[in-house]
Amino acid sequence: MRKVCVVVGSRANYSSIKSVMRAVDRHPDLELQVVAAASAILGRYGAVVTHIEQDGFRIAARLHMLVEGETPATMVQSTGMGLVELPVVFDQLRPDIVVTVGDRFETMATAVAAAYMNITLAHTMGGEISGTIDESIRHAVTKFAHVHFPACEQARERIVRLGERPEHVHLVGCPRIDLVAEILQDALPLRNDLFGTGVGGRFDIDGEFLLVSQHPVTTEYGSGRDQILATLQAVEQVGLPAIILWPNADAGSEDIAAGMRWFREHRDESRLHFFKNLPTDVYVRLMARAACLVGNSSSGIREGAFIGTPAVNIGTRQMNRQRGPNVVDVDYDADAIAGAIDAQRRHGRYDRQPIYGDGCAGPRVADILAVTSPPLQKVLTF
């Protein structure tokens, strides 16, 4: 039985790997180990670990590695904490394969620890390009990883051009799309108690509303408060009620949180509702009904293309990432953001674009991991 260890460090991590975890857990030749780390275990970021357990996964280890402060320096320190703690966990669990997700600081720590410990490393969602430090981390992890699971064709081609062996680069699609496809197929209604958590006003979600998800841009540290205020001012100008998500734990998140708190205290919040975290099924159903997704989350580009949700992408965080026609790009300007939202409202839903997968990534990844023979050696093709 091959042991596959998945490290989940945030709410975005979990939605990006849940279908793989489920497929590994069900595979007759694989044993799943789940390590919950960083913001995934902290209440102020929504404690996604509770959702992981509610979904039926057993947590093999909980790893505190998030240094308080959300500054560039504390991101480095958090990465260092991960490098201190992860080897202990890997020594205890003895995985054959470690799976790391995407491009966050905990991804970097996971990759370095596994590589130095001669554990075969599998990386999902590599090869993509975007703004911020995330792109550098993503490509660095590609060079540590032995097995690659890119989500789109351009990403696969880029990984091969980086010198990785083509037979170890598997175009499987994005595991997040698996969840989207399942949720949309179920066609279940949103829970009646949607506004039972979070803070702010209540409104009829059968009517027109906006969904806002905006995170700090690490290379623009110190600008987060002004950036989120421009977005919230645009939402106010448009005049629609909005569901607004708390930022992730990257450097600058406290600036965005401070901007949100200021807006709540000085503006009418009766048509705004703020959430620290939303279960994936709720978030997807909201995307499927929202008039527009606003902010800089990759979900507007990835899930948005598959669902057909109009999206207004703000700033540089998703710069150059492959996208469909559902995305309109604007800068941090309230009038420009409001104008783009109005244009997207007039357009309405877009045709589905399966750029990032067809909903079957998880089983593909599990089947490949089951026949991957660790330890793999890094043999580049330069």
- Summary mean pLDDT of the chain: 92
Please enumerate in sequence order all residues whose Cβ is within 8 A of that of 164, keeping only pairs 6 or more positions apart, or say none: 142, 145, 148, 380, 381
pLDDT given at position 375: 60
| Mean pLDDT calculated for residue range 266-281 | 88
Of 18, 60, 48, nearest to 180 by C-alpha is 18
φ, ψ of residue 211 to 5 degrees: the values are -120, 125
Amino acid making up residue 59: I
The tokens describing 131, both together, are 């703004």
Please enumerate in sequence order all residues whose Cβ is within 8 A of that of 192, keeping only pairs 6 or more positions apart, or say none: none
Average the pLDDT over each of 126-135, 234-243, 265-274 and give the range with the smallest value.
Answer: 126-135
Helix%, strand%, coil% for the chain, nearest 5: 45, 15, 35
pLDDT band at 68 (very low <50, low <70, confident <90, very high): confident
Q: Which residues are registered as beta bridge partners of 32?
A: 4
pLDDT band at 380 (very low <50, low <70, confident <90, very high): low
The tokens describing 34, both together, are 């789940």
In degrees, to the nearest 5, what angle opens at C-alpha 242 toward C-alphas 236 and 247?
100
The tokens describing 252, both together, are 């600058």
pLDDT given at position 128: 92
pLDDT given at position 71: 86
Q: pLDDT (tens digit, 9 = 90+) per residue, 310-363?
A: 999 999 999 888 899 999 999 999 999 999 999 999 999 999 998 999 999 999
Q: pLDDT (tens digit, 9 = 90+) per residue, 243-264?
A: 999 998 788 889 999 999 999 9
Q: Is the pLDDT of residue 212 over 90?
A: yes
Rounded Cα distance, 111 and 142, in Å: 9
pLDDT band at 76 (very low <50, low <70, confident <90, very high): very high
| Mean pLDDT calculated for residue range 130-156 | 92
Average the pLDDT over each of 187-196, 208-217, 278-287 and give the range with the smallest value.
Answer: 187-196
Burial environment of residue 140 by CB neighbours within 10 A (0 to 12, 13 to 18, 19 or more): middle
pLDDT given at position 331: 96
pLDDT given at position 56: 96
Rounded Cα distance, 173 and 184, in Å: 17
The tokens describing 304, both together, are 């948005």
Looking at the chain, the whole-number percentage of residues with pLDDT higher than 70 is 97
Rounded Cα distance, 253 and 316, in Å: 16
Query: Per this entry, what is the length of the chain?
Result: 382
Q: Could you give all domains of the chain from N- to C-terminal order, each with its CATH number?
A: 2-174+357-371 (3.40.50.2000), 183-347 (3.40.50.2000)
Full DSSP string of 127-138 = S---SHHHHHHH
Of 16, 116, 37, 34, nearest to 365 by C-alpha is 16
Rg (CA), the chain: 20
pLDDT given at position 234: 97
